[in-house]
Structure 1
Amino acid sequence: MESDDIIAARIGSVLPLLNEFQRRCYLAAEASGLGWGGKSKISTLSGVRRSSIARGVKELASPHIQMGNNKLRQIGGGRKKETTRQKGLIDTVKEIVEPHTMGDPERLLIWSSKSIRKVKEALNQRGYKVCHEVVRQIMQSLNYSLQCNKKTKEGGNHPDRDAQFEHINNKAKEFIANGFPVISVDCKKKELIGDFKNAGQEWTIVKRPVEVNVYDCVDKTNGKAAPYGIYDITKNRGLVSVGISSETSSFAVATIRGWWEEEGKMLYPNTNKLYINADGGGSNGSRVKLWKEELQQFSTKSGLEIHVSHYPPGRSKWNKIEHRLFAYILKNWRAKPLETLAVIVSLIGATTTTTGLVVKAKIDATIYKTGMKISDEQVKKWNIKREDFHSEWNYIISPN
């Protein structure tokens, strides 16, 4: 399909050579060739009103319309544009909109929090007689557009952000090359259990959507589900433990321990090392003592030398589990109410991709305690070695 720029360039080169009847017919032909939405697009690209193009479509379809039977206005004839008839209209629109403009006015597109109908009312109060369609055309000519918010601010920008990414990447490559497991871990946001709306759309019979609760109030009987995930980067496999308790470090490491017992041992029978990539905050945060205490206990019992690297603050979306596991789980359960824990586990376990992703899911019914304190005596017993590069983010926990 041709791009808008190509179509606009062709229209711009042909229109000056045609009279008004020919212009209508030509633009009508262009619009018909585009199919649904063609008239609106050609109207935008050519600057000709949509109603004129629609008239051209009717004229092309009628066998009785001939060019000789159409009266042609002289050059410059016809009703003048409102911006020509009403002096200062464009400047007044700018004056009305700019105090409410959000964003950077130096950019090509700026956007307004005022609707075109409210701008029209403000113009009417100042003595201008215009409709909302004229306001829309003026706004577009001034490079305004309706836009939604764009998530681009990730939080703090640490000067060694890129260096830490490089460190994680190089170490992961080294582990994979030597046959050691590399896993990405994180806890997905808690999900309401029950007949609640779930984002997305799914194919259903027309006018027969799945009915859910009007209000997203927590069901005290069912509560919330906290899915904690493990993504094996080498094997492209995931394991998700769906907890019903608080998101704690004990829950996080219990999931990692469960992965090792159920899959890790069999997939990597000769390994004595494990590399974990985790976010910098939350239950697996770099500053959480309980996280390190639980990893120490896991290391001692499993005999594994556990290497840990945390992503820099505000960079959780770079964690591979986010876009290699959780993103596909969200797609798989879109528009499906998470009625029970069993439904959640089934939907997670049924997640697949064309690249061969395999996901297992299970329920963790353990009630984990919150507010647990780690004493200085416990910290002294850690067999932990901190790496030279950002020791707060990169460390190794060995068996006691």
Structure 2
Amino acid sequence: FARAGHTLTQTSIETLDHDFPSAGLGKLIPHGIYDVARNEGAIHLNTSHDTSELCCDSIALWWQRQGRHCYFNSLRLLVLCDGGGSNASNRHVFKEALQALAERLGLEIRIAHYPPYCSKHNPIEHRLFPHITRACQGVVFHTLDIAKQFMAKAKTTTGLNVTVDILTGVYETGKKCASDFIENSRIVFDDFLPRWNYRALPQDR
């Protein structure tokens, strides 16, 4: 489909001007992680569905590829995220996936959700995503590899570095948490604004 912007090409490019899903070859779901301390971004692409499992698999991939090497003595991980979508603050299925992620990585994972209408204050919204958008202006995503190639080109004068990987899993929508999850969960809510601030603890904590 047509994308805003200009690109240099030696041949004409024909695209559809309306992005009707029925006319597409598929869909591309990008999940982004921005490391504030190191000014590094990680984009993980999938062609399935945007789910809580995808969100947690994205965090796990970042930790395995980058995080654990940069923060090898860390026992805790702080994640800033919006309050809606696949990581919604009111969804038990997200907390269940988060609990499984804490067990998988052996880390205490603290979640800090941004309240409604406050997503613009999330660093990823102005330190990573605009530069990804600019790097892809005018580019038609015919394949997953094209998207990966151009997203990885995102740079800034302050030294932003972006890596792009592909998550090949198939993620199903409509899943519900286990019937005994709430009773047995190891999610600890903060005293202050517990709806948006909580921790997932691994078994050994």
Same structural fold, with TM-score higher than 0.5 when normalized by the shorter chain:
yes
Greater fraction of residues in strand = 2
TM-score, normalized by length of structure 1?
0.49
Equivalent residue for 2:159?
A: 356
State the match for 2:2 in structure 1: 197
Distance 2:109 2:18 in 1: 44
Residues 1:303 and 2:79 aligned together: no
Matched, 1:291 2:89: no
Once the two structures are superposed, what CA deviation does each residue of 1:362-394 show, in whole Å capped at 9, x if it has no partner? 122211111111134122221121111110000
SS of the residue 1:372 aligns to? coil
- Mapped partners of 1:266, 1:367: distance in 2: 28
5 Å matches for 1:158-169?
Answer: none
Q: How many angstroms apart in 1 are the aligned matches of 2:81 and 2:99? A: 16
User: Residue 198 of structure 2: SS of its match in structure 1?
Assistant: strand
User: In 2, Cα distance between the equivalents of 1:197 and 1:246?
Assistant: 22
Kindly provide the amino acid, as one letter, of the partner of residue 297 in structure 1: A
Q: CA deviation at 1:233?
A: 0.6
Any idea what the Cα deviations from partners look like across 1:201-246, whole Å, max 9, x if unmatched?
33568xx763322443336672110000111110111111111011
Paired position in structure 2 for 1:383: 186
Identical aligned pairs, as a percentage? 36
Partner of 1:332: 135
Determine the structure 2 residue equivalent to 1:25.
Answer: none
1:344 correspondence with 2:139: no
Runs of 5+ unmatched residues, structure 2: none
Higher relative contact order (CA 8 A, sep 6+): 2
Higher helix share: 1
Deviations 1:152-171 (A, max 9, x none): xxxxxxxxxxxxxxxxxxxx
- Offset at 1:317? 2.1
SS for the counterpart of 2:74 is coil
Structure 1 residues 215 and 221, CA gap change in structure 2 (3 angstroms) = closer
CA distance in 2, matches of 1:309, 1:371: 24
Q: CA RMSD in A?
A: 1.7
1:273 maps onto 2:83 in alignment: no
Q: 1:246 aligns with which of 49, 65, 76?
A: 49
- Matches of 2:24 and 2:18, distance apart in 1: 16
Aligned length: 203
Secondary structure of 2:45 counterpart: strand
Does the C-alpha gap of structure 1 residues 219 and 343 become closer, same or farther in structure 2, counting only changes over 3 Å? farther
**Partners in 2 of 1:392 and 1:266 — Cα distance?**
32
| In 1: Cα distance, 2:104 partner to 2:14 partner | 49
Question: Is 1:224–2:53 an aligned residue pair?
Answer: no
Within 5 A, what are the aligned runs for 1:109-128? Answer: none
Letter of the 2:77 partner, please give it: L
List gaps (5 residues or longer) in structure 1: 1-195
Instruction: Indicate how the Cα distance of structure 1 residues 384 and 282 shifts in structure 2: closer, same or farther if over 3 A, else same.
Output: same
Q: Secondary structure at the match of 2:177?
A: coil
TM-score, structure 2 as length reference: 0.93
In 2, distance between residues paired with 1:202 and 1:220? 23
**Distance in 2, Cα, partners of 1:250 & 1:297:** 10
